[in-house]
Amino acid sequence: MSFDAAYFDLGRLDRLSYGETVMHRLDPRAKVIATGLFLVTVVSFPKYDVAGLVPFLLFPVLAAALGDIPIGFILRKVLIVSPFAVFVGIFNPLLDTRTVAVVAGLPVSAGWLSFASILAKFALTVSAALLLVATTSFPGVCHALRRLGCPAIFVSQLLFLYRYLFVLAEEAMRIVRARNLRSFGGRGRGASVFARLVGILLIRTLDRAERIYRAMLSRGFAGDLPTLRNSRAGSGDLAFAAATAILLGVFRFLPVTEGIGRFAQGLWS
């Protein structure tokens, strides 16, 4: 992914969180807790279980539909980060060749099953994280974390990082453009020029930190970042969290997919 694309993608995910839908209006804490439960449930499936994971797709699909988040955008981001999981998982079919099932005359090895399970878990967990940000906004997640007991200094660190991420990304973008204009045929793209460029970026960053600090002092900063936003979890938020938990439990402990499959085959024959 090119630099500009990375930058605009970042901004796009941020802009999606400005939406005003049912999903966006839920209390951030409810969404953070629901996402956490979802992740642990998905990951807790045994190694060879694929069918049981399929119903969980309902959660990201519903969240994206209700939150009016473009599915293609989320899918593209999932694909971009998939190489590590694919790289590690692809060894399963090669190393675990026991045949466990015959589907339509083709033998299926245990390795393919566990690989498919890894891929399914990967898509589910990654899209859950992306959808949490896209429907909650990063500051929303941070304030939820603060009220769920995360140390104040870490939360203000996250908020600061987020605030200056876009500023410094633009700074870096200018540096990259300037270098590209001057590096015909790849000259000047080596490590030594890179170290100097990043060194300059670091100096500018440190100077900026000093200016920010002075500006904050002059506005009465005393070591804490208080928030004026005081969201209160309503009954709707509780209902959302409870419904998520119950549905997760049903999908985890009852063989939903097999049941539906058996039902359909029963109708067929």
Partner 1 sequence: MHMADALLSPAVGVTLWAGSAAVGGYASRKLRDRIDDRLIPLMGVLGAFIFAAQMINFTIPGTGSSGHLGGGMILAVLLGPHAAFLTIASVLTVQALFFADGGLLALGCNIWNLGIYPCYLVYPLVYRPLAGEGRRPGRILIASVLSAVIALQLGAFSVVLETVLSGRSELPFGAFVLLMQPIHLAIGLVEGFVTAGIIGYVASARPEILESVAAARPVSAGVPLAKVLTVFALLTLFTGGALSWFASTHPDGLEWAIERVTGRGELPEAEQGVAAALKGFQEKTAFLPDYGFKPAEGESTAPEAAAPAWPGVAAGTSASGVTGAVIVLALVGLIGLGVRFAGRRDSDSTP
Show contacts with partner 1 in window 131-190 (CB under 8 A): 132-133, 138, 141, 151-154, 156-165, 167-169, 171-173, 175-176, 179, 186, 189-190
Closest to partner 1 by CB, 167 or 242 = 167
Q: Which amino acid, 208?
A: R
> CB under 8 Å to 34, separation ≥6 — which residues?
240, 241, 244, 245
CB of 49 vs partner 1, minimal distance in Å: 7
Q: Which of residues 52-91 bind partner 1 (CB under 8 A)?
A: 52, 54-55, 57-58, 61-62, 64-66, 68, 71, 77-78, 80-81, 84-85, 88-89, 91
Q: How far is the CB of 131 from partner 1 (least distance, A)?
A: 10
CB atoms within 10 A of CB 28: 25
CB atoms < 10 A from the CB of 3, how many? Answer: 13
Question: Nearest-5° angle of CA 85, CA 132, CA 56?
Answer: 60
3-state secondary structure at position 22: helix
Instruction: Give the integer Cα–Cα distance in Å for 178 and 4.
Output: 14
Interacting positions 244-263 with partner 1 (CB under 8 A): 253-263
Residues 39, 233, 245, 247: which binds partner 1 (CB under 8 A)?
39
Closer Cβ to partner 1, 233 or 255, answer by number: 255
Interaction between residue 232 and partner 1 (CB under 8 A): no
- The set of long-range contacts for 150-159, using a CB threshold of 8 Å and a minimum separation of 24, is 152/224, 152/225, 155/225, 156/224, 156/225, 159/225
Using CB under 8 A, which residues numbered 86 to 125 contact partner 1? 88-89, 91-92, 94-96, 98-103, 105, 107-108, 110-111, 114, 117-122, 125
